[in-house]
Structure 1
């Protein structure tokens, strides 16, 4: 047998065993669809997580700014000489 006969015999054996239609086998479309859906869901989860954490940090920063602003307004700033450090009594 020469190389072309061996190749033809191998192809015929493969067609009879694995692929009854004779069409070349391609990747199945089902797993690709599942993979795309899983990737989309994971992307949405990551996006929601980033937005959730970012929103939490933003609210925390606003709370700290408000707390500092209240502290500044509630404590009167000391005026020079108002402490009574040099009384001549």
Structure 2
């Protein structure tokens, strides 16, 4: 019986020495977590600013296209033979 107890105790001893005598994985120190949080915060702000910059550029481009389409429609209505006001009712 003593032989079986010694055989079972050997893996437990190895496990406790392998896992820093606590049975769990060691925790990283708090310093790197603070640095990681700061880096992620800065990257998040950069991404947000980039999205806002590109979105604003797309909105300005869309407004310019809408304005140019409105000018073209007005110009095409003025270029029609009857004009925009008279049309088919005039003799």
Bin the TM-score by the shorter chain. Answer: 0.5 to 0.7
- How many residue pairs match? The answer is 68
Structure 1: which 5+ residue stretches go unaligned?
16-24, 81-89
Give the aligned partner of residue 59 of structure 1: 60
Q: Which runs of 4+ in 1 moved over 3 A?
A: none
Deviations 1:9-46 (A, max 9, x none): x75xx78xxxxxxxxx5311111001000111111111
Q: TM-score, normalised by structure 1?
A: 0.59
User: Any gaps of 5 or more consecutive residues in structure 2?
Assistant: 1-5, 83-91
Partners of 1:62 and 1:27 in 2: CA distance: 52
Q: What CA distance in whole angstroms lies between the structure 2 residues aligned with 1:73 and 1:67?
A: 10
Distance in 2 (CA, whole Å) between partners of 1:32 and 1:77 is 69
CA RMSD of aligned residues (A): 2.9
Q: TM-score, normalised by structure 2?
A: 0.58
Paired position in structure 1 for 2:80: 78
Structure having the higher helix fraction is: 2
